[in-house]
Amino acid sequence: EEEEELTPWKEQENWEAHQVAKASMAAGARDKKAAKQEYEFVLPDAVEFVTAQAIAGNLEIEDREQEEARAKAEKAAAAKSAFERLQEDRRTLPMYEYREMLLEALEQHQILIVTAETGSGKTTQIPQYLHEAGYSKAGRIGCTQPRRVAAMSVAARVATEVGVKLGHEVGYSIRFEDCTSDKTLIKYMTDGMLLREFLGEPDLVSYSVMMIDEAHERTLHTDVLFGLIKDIARFRPDIKLIISSATLNAEKFSEFFDYAPILNVPGRRYQVDILYTKAPEADYLTAAVTTALTIHVREPAGDILIFLTGQEEIEAAEELLKQRTRGLGSKIGELLIAPIYANLPSEQQAKIFEPTPAGARKVVLATNIAETSLTIDGIKFVVDPGFCKQNAYSPRTGMESLVVTPISQASANQRAGRAGRTAPGKCFRLYTHHSFTSEMDEDTIPEIQRTNLGNVVLMLKSLGINDLMHFDFLDPPPSETLLRALEQLYALGALNQRGELTKLGRRMAEFPLDPMLAKTIIASEQFQVSEELATICAMTAVGNAIFYRPKDKGVEADNAHNAFHRGNVGDHIALLNCYNGWADDDVNFSTQWCYQNFVQVRSMKRARDIREQLLGLMERTEVQLVSDAGNHDAIRKALAAGFFYHTASLQRNGSYRTVKSPMTVHIHPSSGLTETMPRWVVYHELVLTSKEFMRTVSEIKPAWLLEVAPHYYSKKDIVDESSKKLPKGLGKAPTEA
C-alpha cells in the first residue's frame, strides 16, 4: 500500500502541488491558507517520512546491491587471485619446466616412463598437462594410485587447480565409492579399481591416456596392470601410457615396456641430516613421541612427520602426545596433531594440508601413505621408527597375515627425503646405523611375491587369461603361490578341474571382495540368510574401526559392546546384531544410538553404503535376498562355506591350531570368544603382532566343514581333531542363547 502511494509521488513532477491538493482534500472545505498551513505542517513529517523510507529503502537497496556487487567482485578477485596463485604455484613445480618435453615425447612414443622426486608434480600436474593439450577430447585421462586416500586427496587438489567441482570434470573412483560423472575427463582411481574396470571394458576404450602412477610402490594390482596395459598398447595404437614413479627402478620399467624412453625430471631436495639411535629402541611408539616432543622444545620452527604402521598406533601416539603435553600449557609452543591413515574421514584428511599458524608446530602422524603418495608442505623433521605393516603370505600353509615389518633402505631414504623438500631438514631414525646398513633389505619386496593371489587370479581368469604361468609379469610371483591360488579357487568352486572359470567363479568375480567373501555371499542364499551375510560382509569390509572405548567410559563401552555378543554368538553375529540394532525401525540409523553404544557413526555409514552396493551386486548376479536373522547356525554355515580355509581347533594347551596346516594361533583380545574358547572356530583374518591372532572369530561345528567343503575336508581331518581329549574347562559346549 505504501508503495502505491509512494510511487506516484516520486514520479510527480510537481509533487509539492500534489501534496497541497492531497492536504486540501484532507482538509475538506478549509480555505487554501488553512490548507497551506496544514500542508506546511504535514509536509515536513511527510517528507521526512517519505525520504526516510524512500532513501533508506533506496540506500538499503543500493547498499545491498552495491555490497553484493562489491562482495562479488571481491570474491571473484580473491578467487581469481587464489586461483591465480594456485596457477603460479603450479608453474614453480619441477615438472613444469618439462611440460613441453613431456608432451612432445608422448606425441612420438606410445609409452613413456617418467621419474621425478616426490612432490615434483607428477600426480597432480601430468594429467592436467594432458588435458590442457587436448587429450581429454579423445577420451578420459586416467591415473592410478595404490592408495585410496591418495586418490581422493589428489583428485580434490586437482579439481581445485582446474577450478571445477570434485566429481565433475575431475573425479575419483575407489572401491565402494565412485565420485565421477559423465563429465569426468580426469579420473584418479585406485589400481584395484582400474583392474576391475578391465572386466567391463577390456580395451579401456573410454581412455585416451592411462598413467600408472607410483609405479615404484609395486603393489600387487599395479604389477598386474603392467602386464595388462602392455598388452593393450599392442592393439590400441591410439592410447598413450605413462608409467610414473619416484626415482627408483626406471630402467627396469623401461626394459619391461620394450625399452620405452625415460623422462627423468631432476628434483629439488635440500640437505637432510640423518640421526640414528645409539642402541635399538624397545618401544618405538614411545620413542617416537619422545623424539617429537624433544624436537618441539629444542628445534627451530618446522613441522614434524612421524611414520607409524597403522590406525591403532596412530591413535595411541596421538593419545600419548596429548597426555605428555597436558598441563604444560604455555611452557611449550602450541602443538597441532594431524593424523592420516586410510580410514580417516576425508574432512579430517584435509587437516594435514592446512598451513600451520605462526608460533605453532604441526605433528603429522602418518602411515606409509606419506612416504611417497602424499606431499605435505612445511615438514622439516621426520621421525622414522623403521617399520611398516605388510602382507605376509606362506604358500606352503596358505596363511596370510598383516605383519609389522622393518622397512627397506629404499623406504628409509624416501622417508628421510620428506624432511628436505622446501628447506634443509633432519631425519631421526629410531634404529641404529648398523641396523640400517646390515639388517634392512635394500629394496622392498614387491607385494606380488608376498601375498595371496586368489583375488587376482580370479580376475585374470575372468579376463580370459588362462595361462597364468606365462603371463607377462614384471617380476613373477612364486609358482607355489600361483598354484595355491588356483587350488583355493578350485576348492571354492570358482574353477573346474581343468582350471577354467565356472559359472560360480564368474559370479564371484563380480564382487570386489576376496574370493572367500564372495563365495560366502553367494552360498548364503542356499542357507536362506543372504541378507545377513551381506550385512556381515559390509561390516567386515569397514575394517576394525567400528567399536571404540573411551578410557573414562570403559565400563559403559564394554557393557554396550557385550550386549551385541549376548549368548556368545561369535564376532560375526555380533557385527550383525550391531548393524541391525542401528538399522532397527525405532532407531532408524540414528547418530544418537551410535554414541550410546560406543560405535563409530562414520564406520556405520560406510557399512551401510557398502551393504547397499553389495545388495545391488547380488541382484546383478542373481543371488536371491532372503533373511532369517535368528538362524545363527545357518549364518555360520554360510560363513564356513566361504571361509573353510580359515578354521582352527582348540589344543590341549589352550592355543588353537589351524586345521589343515600345523600352525599355532590365538583368539584376538578384541574378540567376544576369548573366554568361551570354543573347540572349532572360523576366523576372518590373521594378524601378527605379539602373536598370530585370529581376528573376528565364530564358532562352527566340524561336521559343517564336510558339508560345505567336501573337496577340501575329509572325515579324518575332523575326527582326529575332535577325538583329542581336552583338559577340563577347555572347549566348552556352545552356549547359544
Residues lying near ligand CDP in the complex (CB under 6 A) are found at 93, 116, 118-125, 153-154, 157, 353, 375, 377
Q: Residue 569: which of Mg ion, ligand CDP, none does it interact with, CB under 5 to 8 A by kind?
A: none
- Confirm if 453 and 481 have CB atoms less than 8 A apart: yes
Compare residues 15 and 353 and give the one whose CB is closer to ligand CDP: 353
Q: How far apart are CA 583 and CA 579, in angstroms?
A: 6
Q: Between 154 and 486, name the residue whose CB sits nearer to ligand CDP.
A: 154
Our CB check for ligand CDP shows the closer of 245 and 405 to be: 245
Number of residues that bind Mg ion (CB under 5 A): 2
SS3 of 244, please?
strand
Note every long-range contact of 695-698, with CB atoms under 8 Å and residues 24 or more positions apart, other chains counting: 695/544, 695/668, 695/670, 695/671, 696/540, 696/571, 696/572, 696/575, 696/668, 696/671, 697/570, 697/571, 697/667, 697/668, 697/671, 697/673, 698/569, 698/570, 698/571, 698/572, 698/573, 698/636, 698/639, 698/673
Smallest distance from ligand CDP to CB 387, Å: 23
Q: Return the one option of Mg ion, ligand CDP, none that residue 379 interacts with (CB less than 5 to 8 A, by type).
A: none
Q: How many residues does the chain have?
A: 737
Q: Which does 153 bind (CB under 5 to 8 A by kind): ligand CDP, Mg ion, none?
A: ligand CDP
- Tell me how far, at minimum, the Cβ of 370 lies from Mg ion, in Å: 12
Q: Which residues pair with 174 in a beta bridge?
A: 177
| Interface map 71-110 toward Mg ion (x if CB under 5 A) | ----------------------------------------
Least distance from ligand CDP to the Cβ atom of residue 161, Å: 9
Give the residue among 411, 539, 459 at the shortest CA–CA distance from 193. 459
Q: Which is nearer to Mg ion, 151 or 289 (CB)?
A: 151
Residue number with CB closer to Mg ion (122 or 646): 122
User: Nearer Cβ to ligand CDP, position 121 or 385?
Assistant: 121
Please say whether the beta carbons of 296 and 335 come within 8 A.
Answer: yes
Nearest-10 crossing angle of helices 32-92, 2-11: 100
> Which of the stretches 115-123, 250-258, 263-271, 527-535 binds Mg ion when contact is defined by CB under 5 A?
115-123
Is position 144 an interface residue for Mg ion (rule: CB under 5 A)?
Answer: no
Binding part of the chain for Mg ion, among 117-125, 332-340, 558-566, 729-737 by CB under 5 A, reads 117-125
Residue position matching grid coordinates 502505491: 4
Query: From the list ligand CDP, Mg ion, none, which binds 375 (C-beta under 5 to 8 Å, kind-based)?
Result: ligand CDP
Q: How far is the CB of 153 from ligand CDP (least distance, A)?
A: 5
Q: Report the greatest alpha carbon distance in the chain.
A: 126
Interacting partner of 115 out of Mg ion, ligand CDP, none (Cβ under 5 to 8 A depending on kind): none
Residue 120, contacted partner among ligand CDP, Mg ion, none, CB below 5-8 A by kind: ligand CDP
Smallest distance from Mg ion to CB 210, Å: 15
- Could you tell me if 122 and 95 are in contact, meaning their C-beta atoms sit under 8 angstroms apart? yes
Q: How far is CA 719 from CA 184, 544, 646, 697, 722, in A?
A: 59, 34, 18, 22, 5
Measured from the CB of residue 227, what is the shortest distance to Mg ion in angstroms? 22
Give the shortest CB-306-to-ligand CDP separation in angstroms.
Answer: 19
The least distance separating ligand CDP from the CB of residue 501, rounded to whole angstroms, comes to 37
In this structure, the number of other CB atoms found within 10 A of the CB of residue 6 comes to: 15
Q: Using the minimum distance from each CB to ligand CDP, give the nearer residue, 276 or 353.
A: 353
Residue placing its CB nearer to ligand CDP in the complex, 122 or 296: 122
Residue number with CB closer to ligand CDP (19 or 375):
375
CB nearer ligand CDP, residue 375 or residue 649: 375
Residue 353's binding partner out of ligand CDP, Mg ion, none, with CB under 5 to 8 Å set by partner kind: ligand CDP
Give the residue carrying C-alpha cell 574370493: 515
- Partner whose footprint covers residue 249, from ligand CDP, Mg ion, none (CB < 5 to 8 Å by kind): none
125 binds, among ligand CDP, Mg ion, none (CB under 5 to 8 A by kind): ligand CDP
Which of ligand CDP, Mg ion, none is residue 632 near (CB under 5 to 8 Å by kind)?
none
Cα 181 to chain centroid, rounded: 20
Q: Taking the complex as a whole, how short is the minimal distance between the CB of residue 230 and ligand CDP, in angstroms? A: 22
> Minimum distance from CB of 123 to Mg ion (Å)?
3
Q: Residue 225: which H helix or E strand, with range? A: helix 220-235
* Residue 190 near Mg ion by CB under 5 A: no
Nearer to ligand CDP among residue 144 and residue 153 (C-beta)? 153
- Kindly list the distances between the CA atom of residue 458 and the CA atoms of 502, 514, 683, in Å, as whole numbers in the listed order: 11, 10, 22
Q: Which residues 6+ apart lie within 8 Å of 160 measured at CB?
A: 86
Q: How far apart are CA 142 and CA 211, in angstroms?
A: 6
By beta-carbon proximity to ligand CDP, the closer residue of 106 and 159 is: 159
Which one of Mg ion, ligand CDP, none interacts with residue 68, CB within 5 to 8 A by kind? none
Residue 93: contacted member of ligand CDP, Mg ion, none (CB under 5 to 8 Å, by partner type): ligand CDP
Strands (E), 279-348: 303-307, 334-340
Compute the least distance from the CB of residue 248 to ligand CDP, in Å: 13
Q: Compute the distance between CA of residue 504 and CA of residue 489 in angstroms, rounded to an integer.
A: 10
DSSP string, 589-645: T-HHHHHHTTB-HHHHHHHHHHHHHHHHHHHHTT------TT-HHHHHHHHHHHHTT
The Cα 104–Cα 289 span in angstroms is 48
Q: Which is nearer to Mg ion, 120 or 696 (CB)?
A: 120
DSSP-derived secondary structure letter, 435? I
Q: Which residue is nearest to Mg ion (CB)?
A: 123
Answer yes or no whether residue 311 interacts with Mg ion by CB under 5 A.
Answer: no
> Minimum Å distance from CB 93 to ligand CDP?
6
The H helix count followed by the E strand count for the chain is 27, 21
Specify whether the CB–CB gap between 115 and 250 falls below 8 A. yes
Of Mg ion, ligand CDP, none, which one does residue 672 interact with (CB within 5 to 8 Å by kind)? none
Q: By CB under 5 A, what part of segment 118-137 binds Mg ion?
A: 122-123
Tell me the closest approach of the beta carbon of residue 613 to ligand CDP, in angstroms. 27
Euclidean distance between the first and the last CA atom of the chain, given in angstroms as a whole number: 75
In angstroms, give the least distance from the CB of 85 to Mg ion.
Answer: 21
Closer to ligand CDP by CB, 208 or 244: give it.
244
If residue 446 lies in a helix (H) or strand (E), which one and from where to where? none
Binding footprint of Mg ion on the chain (CB under 5 A): 122-123
